[in-house]
Structure 1
Amino acid sequence: MVSGSSDEILAGKVSDYDRKSELKSFDDSKLGVKGLLDAGLTKIPRMFINEQHKTDMTWGSRESSPESVPIIDFKGMDKDAALRTQIIKKVGEACEKWGFFQVVNHGIPESVLNDMIDGIRRFHEQDAETKKEYYSRDSQKKVRFISNFDLYQARMANWRDSLSCVMAPNPPLPEQLPAVCRYVNTCFYGFQTFDVIRPVN
């Protein structure tokens, strides 16, 4: 049996660390990353730390070179095949270097985007028992709440919870969606993932 405080165990300070048990305990809670924060977590659990890639991060320091999140303009991509190819290349480069990017001129009204953000915020901030009803690792489900799609395969867990909805070819019925974001005006088709990412202070 491992002895030590729960914060020490989660932070990986105990020598006989059992990663498999930590992952299973986290997954079985069905509460995700926000559940850790809601429980009063003060240190990042070891399962989120990649021991092989610990680096001295100097983001925000004066010595670091200024970089900004890639902004990709979709304007005209539906009318110009060459432009579409360039945009696809930019998306690939942004994914490789950053893992994310901002899109402009995508044709989705700002009001729709704001409604989606508000709806997903309401989902993640509702009571834990209600969210648990949607927690699943079954990829066949049209609507599911999950933390880390690859939790048991990745070297480290991501600090992220997701609500995913498969919208094509047949979107879920309204009653299959969480009540707090059921009537959000959406115009997306395909596989959508909405994340909540919250830092630990």
Structure 2
Amino acid sequence: MTSTAVSYDRATELKAFDETKAGVKGLVDAGITKIPPLFVRAPETTTTSKPLMHTSIQIPIIDLEGRHADVIEEIRSAAETFGLFHVTNHGIPLMVMEEMVAGVRRFHEEDLDVKKKYYTRDLSQKVGFNTNSDFYRSKAADWRDTLRCVMAPEEPKPEEMPLAFREIIFEYANYIKKLGIVLLELLSEALGLNRDHLNKMDFNKGLELLGHYYPPCPDPELTLGTSRHSDPDFLTILLEDHIGGLQVLHQHHWIDVPPLAGALVVNIGDLLQLISNDRFKSAEHRVIAKSIGPRISVACFFRAYDGKEYGPIKELISCGSPPLYKAVTVRDYVTLFMILREQDQKSALGFFKL
């Protein structure tokens, strides 16, 4: 047994870190110059084995106020290829977006005594703060702290929210709900369905907001801000600051998704790939760690734990296009997704293939 193995008891270190309730930011505030072993990843997971060959590849940018037929075609193309795209003229005022980012930052930079009140790993709580939802199960922790707020189907009471963003979060969530309806209408048309088809399926009734905080990292080459994954939802809308670091996997290469002022990032989730019968592609993505920061992002996930089973949409099924997946509930999909994350698998979709 090596001296490293003797000196490093992962389970003990995980528990000790978690009990501080200070998160990754607490490590930075303590002045560390090297990241703890908990966060060190295998080299092949922090880099890409295939160097980027197509430097001219650009992330699609879709102007939602463009000619309707053009918007539909652009969304169809982006959803079928990248699974991820920027949207502009989306209806959310810039001041609201900036205040939402500022509010998330204010919370994560609060005094520890204030933040500790919200530290929990109980997912039944509507509001909670911690480091990595899979902290005790993953092979390596991500360099990131997260505040989680469930905003639908039932909103938390204002007094349940941290003061740091209590006012802005309800306003921002209302805008996101409206934008979600618009995007689902456009995605319905892009699939050749009636405009209200996806909205009538009700998975937009559930909304979960994650406010991520990525502190500057002393060893960014040894870890990741967010490890490679696709989202176990139908649709994700991401707001981020100017720092950057988001990457999407496209044609076996990691492509930078540069921040675009005033725009939002939209990505297709696993469950939309499932119900579209592989017409739309769920985007595998990650966030690299950086020595600068903090990076702030706000991810909004549309998924409803309503007990309904979702399978390939019957209007998309034909003799030439048979169903590729069996039906599944959101809860069962997410449960399996979390189990597979322990094994470093990126998606649960393959387990529901027919």
TM-score range for the pair, normalised by the shorter chain length = 0.7 to 0.9
Partner residue in 1 for 2:163: 179
Equivalent-residue separation in structure 2 for 1:128 and 1:39 (angstroms): 12
Return structure 1 stretches of 4+ with deviation > 6 angstroms.
Answer: 54-57
* In structure 2, C-alpha distance between the alignment counterparts of 1:69 and 1:199, rounded to whole Å: 27
Aligned residue number for residue 108 of structure 1: 92
- 2:62 is matched with 73
SS of the aligned residue for 2:140 comes to: coil
Q: Counterpart in 2 of 1:45?
A: 36
1:48–1:157 contact (8 Å) kept in structure 2: yes
- 1:49-64 to structure 2, matched below 5 A, reads 49-51=40-42, 53=44
* Superposed displacement of residue 54, structure 1: 6.6
Instruction: Check 1:40–1:67 CA distance in 2 against 1; reply closer, same or farther (3 A cut).
Output: farther
The residue number in structure 2 matching 1:188 is 176
How far off its partner does 1:149 sit?
A: 0.6
Aligned mates of 2:214, 2:123 — CA distance in 1: 22
1:23 and 2:14 matched: yes
CA RMSD of aligned residues (A): 3.0
- Alpha-carbon shift at residue 90 of structure 1 (Å): 4.9
CA deviations on 1:149-173 (whole Å, 9 max, x unpaired) are 1111111100000111100111111
Structure 1 unaligned regions, length at least 5: 1-12, 58-62, 95-100
Q: CA deviation at 1:88?
A: 3.2
Does the 8 A contact of 2:62 with 2:75 survive in 1? no
Shift in Å, 1:85? 3.9
1:89 corresponds in structure 2 to: 80
Aligned equivalent of 1:163: 147
Q: Which residue among 136, 159, 163 is the counterpart of 2:120? A: 136
The whole-number CA distance in structure 2 between the counterparts of 1:163 and 1:56 is 27
CA distance in 2, matches of 1:174, 1:55: 39
Inter-partner Cα distance in structure 2 for 1:90 and 1:74: 18
TM-score w.r.t. structure 2 length?
0.44
Report the secondary structure of 2:176's partner residue.
coil
Instruction: Answer whether contact 1:72 1:91 (CA < 8 A) is retained.
Output: no
- 2:91 aligned partner, one-letter code: G
Q: Residue 69 of structure 1 contacts residue 102 of structure 1 at CA under 8 Å; is this kept in 2? A: no
- What SS is found at the alignment partner of 1:166? strand
Partner-residue secondary structure (3-state), 2:14: helix
Q: 2:26 aligns with which of 35, 52, 63?
A: 35
Q: Which moved more, 1:82-91 or 1:46-55?
A: 82-91
Give me the whole-angstrom Cα distance separating, in 1, the residues matched to 2:86 and 2:159.
Answer: 31
Question: How far apart, CA to CA, are the structure 1 residues paired with 2:109 and 2:58?
Answer: 27
SS in 2 for 1:167: strand
Q: 2:102 aligns with which of 108, 118, 126?
A: 118
- Cα deviation 1:164-195 (Å, max 9, x = unaligned): 11001111111000012111132334111111
TM-score, with length taken from structure 1: 0.74
